[in-house]
Structure formats: structure tokens, C-alpha cells
Amino acid sequence: MPLETYQYMSNVWKDGIFDNKVVFCTGGAGTICSAQVRAMVHLGANACIIGRNVEKTENMAKDIATARKGAKVLGLGAVDVRKPEALAAAAEKCAKELGGIDFVIAGAAGNFLAPMDQISPNALKSVMDIDVLGSYNTVKATLPYLVESAAKHKTDGKTPPPNGTGGRIIFVSATLHYVGTPLQSHVSIAKAGVDAMAVSVAIEQGPKGITSNVIAPGPIADTEGVARLSRSDSRENSAKAIPSGRFGTVKEIADATIYLFSDTGNYVNGEVLVVDGGQWHTSAIGNKAFEYPDFLLSGETVTGVTGGKKSKL
């Protein structure tokens, strides 16, 4: 069933700005990434979303396709971003069936709440492999297509690009590592690496016409991230500590994506766009659900959140 447009993008964008373009997205069945892709599809793009869960990924692809009549959205499940050969095959299939790859969203990620002394080396490695290695493998698999797209869609900032934009990548990161976040050492390490990677891509591939940027979402309502990283009984108080006074929406991440991928983002390269209502500036106020430092000193395991640390990691 089609969503109302304002649920996944603002009404300020011009229809058709991504006509005949293709977006490739890892983690595309997730709540944030699916909104990013849905907005792109609404504005003319076709898409290929990647995920490990076959049924979830295929169903989400069908749902995203309702954003525009005639849209083509591939849902490729059973693809692990930690395996470069699987991503290379997915990128090849995407380009073959949809005609190329113009935009990439590296959005696959893993997370849970736990203090460092409860995180095994294997658990840390799992997060690093998904976030950092997965993002790296995404770049390697799609870079040839992005270089080709960038060459076709050069922009000078003076005249409208005749064939629209292309050759752009967005890494979905976080703000956790800006000031340090308790219970998030593993993801903070990983996201810092993702941010550094985005800058390296911008420096090395920018001369070829590619732009590489980061979107760092804050707490976004009704997402897996909020469910995993906060207790339901503490979310109202957490929202009060955000300067904007509320959690964000997936629409606001999608709008940031359109900005960076469209003509408006031509001269933005190697940057981090934080979309968090100012939350990271007040993060030192603390999380009342896991009082600092009492919770850490207690030795307790995090409870009351969706998912959690998997002991076998």
C-alpha cells in the first residue's frame, strides 16, 4: 500500500529530478534506508536494495516500487556485505538489469548496547566487519559504475546539468563518536572508520567527478535503531534533551539524501551532514535509562531494548 508522500520526503522537491537514474543501497530494507530509496524512486530513480533476509528485502522492494507508477525496484536478498564477491555480483546484476549505477547508499550496519567489558573480540569484529568492511566492499563493488556515471553527468555549478547528476555515494554513519557514548564503544569505533573512509573516497575519486559524503542521523522515531538503543519508558525524557525537542523522522534523512544527490549538492564533497536536531551537542546531559557512571559500575547487562548483545558474537 503506497505511503503518503510526506511520510518519506518533503513536498519541496521537483518530480523527475532523478529520471533514468539508478540507486544501489545496502541495508535497503531498513526503516531509514528504505525511506531514502523510496524518496529517490518517487523522484524518478529506479533502485536496487541489498539485504541478508530474502523475504524482507524482496517485500520491501515491492513496497518501495509503489512510490511511482512504472518504477523498477530490485530486492536482492541473501547478500552479505562482508563478502566482496556477493556485493560485486549484486552490483553487476543491478547494472545489467537497470542500466547502470548512479548513486550508492552504504547503509548496512549492526548495533547493540553493551559496555566494553561485556563485548567479546568477536562481537567487535562483527560490527567492524558489517559497518567498515561492508562499506568498503560496497565502494569497491560499485566504484566502476560510479566513475562511469560521474563522467556522463559532470556539473560546473553554473548551468543545470543536462542529464541530471550521478556518480555520488552517501555513507550512513552516526554521531556516537563525536563526544564518546557509553555502551557504544564498538559502534563508535566503526562509525569513525566509516567517516574517515568517506573522506578518502572524496579525495581520491573527486577528480573523477565523484562526490562522497556522510549522513549522520540522530535518534529517528519508529526505527530499529531507536528500538535497539533506548528503552521505551525513557524515550520521552530523551526527546526533551534534544534542542529541537523531538526525535527525527525518516523523511528528514531522505530529504538530506535528495539534497546531496541532486543539483543542490554539487559542491559538497567529503563532508558529514548531521541530521539530529542538535542532539549530539546535548548528549553529555546523559541517558537517564542507563545513568552514568552507576550503570557501568553495576556490571548489569542492558535490558528493556529490542535485540541486544548476542553472547555468541
> Mind telling me the catalytic residues?
173, 191
End-to-end C-alpha distance for the chain, whole angstroms? 37
Mind giving me the DSSP string for 228-272? HHS-GGGHHHHHHTSTTSS-B-HHHHHHHHHHHHSGGGTT--S-E
3-state percent helix, strand, coil for the chain, nearest multiple of 5: 45, 10, 40
CA angle 227, 233, 238 (to 5 degrees): 75
Give dist(CA 18, CA 20) in Å, integer: 6
**Residue 106 β-bridge partners:** 26, 171
Residue 247: phi, psi to the nearest 5?
-75, 160
With beta carbons less than 8 A apart as the criterion, state whether 184 and 121 touch: no
Amino acid at 191: K
